[in-house]
């Protein structure tokens, strides 16, 4: 498939373990089928700006506040940013703080909440977050979030906990994490990474 840099945009999402987030997007938007996603990369973002070039062990140890995230290069003439945001919400539980299923970030435990009150830089690698790349993406993400909240969660008494924040520095995860569930089809997959 051919595309030029002029019509390529970036979307960045975090919704628990990045293996599952990347996997579900690529299963439903395979690049070979021209459904709009051109490429994905998993990595770390959104944390303590003093922690640069983090690796998986450091992020999981709770010392960085970086999220495991997926960066998606897409063609907006094929799939819109709003479509990707809506799909993101359908693929995980956005009402939980710092966790998805069995994947629990360090801020989700009671002890960690107490530590976070004293030392606010505590890891949240499994949080739900949308990292926007410009003001248009921010407005779209907020609008779609309000729509999803009203349609799926308000009547249940639940509130979306997803952070919508400006994208900051990005670090690619180690090579073995890239396309992990395609290379390891029997690998761990968070049970919340499914279409709702």
Which residues participate in catalysis according to the annotation? 17
Structure tokens at 6: 């002029």
Instruction: Give exposure, 133-165, as e/b (b: 16+ Cβ within 10 Å).
Output: eeeebbebbeebbeebbeebbeeeeeebebbbb
DSSP state of 49: T
Structure tokens at 176: 């073995």
**Distance (Å) of CA 169 to CA 54, 94, 101, 155, 174:** 11, 23, 27, 37, 16
Return the C-alpha torsion angle 14, 151, 95, 64, nearest 10.
20
Strand partners of residue 74: 9, 37
Tell which residue, 73, 66, 42, 57, has the closest CA to residue 125: 66
């Amino acid at each position: 498939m051919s595309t030029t840099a002029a019509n390529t945009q970036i979307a960045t999402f975090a919704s628990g373990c990045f293996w599952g987030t990347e996997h579900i997007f690529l299963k439903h938007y395979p690049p070979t089928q021209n459904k709009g996603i051109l490429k994905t990369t998993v990595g770390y973002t959104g944390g303590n700006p003093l922690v640069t070039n983090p690796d998986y062990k450091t992020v999981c140890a709770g010392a960085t506040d970086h999220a495991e995230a997926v960066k998606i290069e897409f063609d907006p003439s094929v799939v819109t940013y709003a479509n990707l945001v809506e799909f993101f919400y359908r693929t995980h539980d956005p009402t939980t703080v710092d966790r998805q299923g069995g994947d629990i970030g360090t801020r989700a435990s009671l002890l960690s909440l107490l530590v976070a009150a004293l030392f606010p830089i505590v890891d949240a690698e499994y949080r739900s977050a949308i990292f926007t790349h410009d003001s248009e993406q921010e407005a779209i993400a907020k609008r779609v979030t309000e729509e999803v909240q009203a349609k799926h969660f308000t009547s249940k008494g639940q509130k979306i906990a997803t952070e919508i924040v400006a994208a900051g520095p990005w670090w690619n995860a180690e090579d073995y994490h890239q396309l992990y569930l395609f290379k390891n089809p029997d690998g761990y997959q968070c049970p919340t990474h499914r279409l709702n």
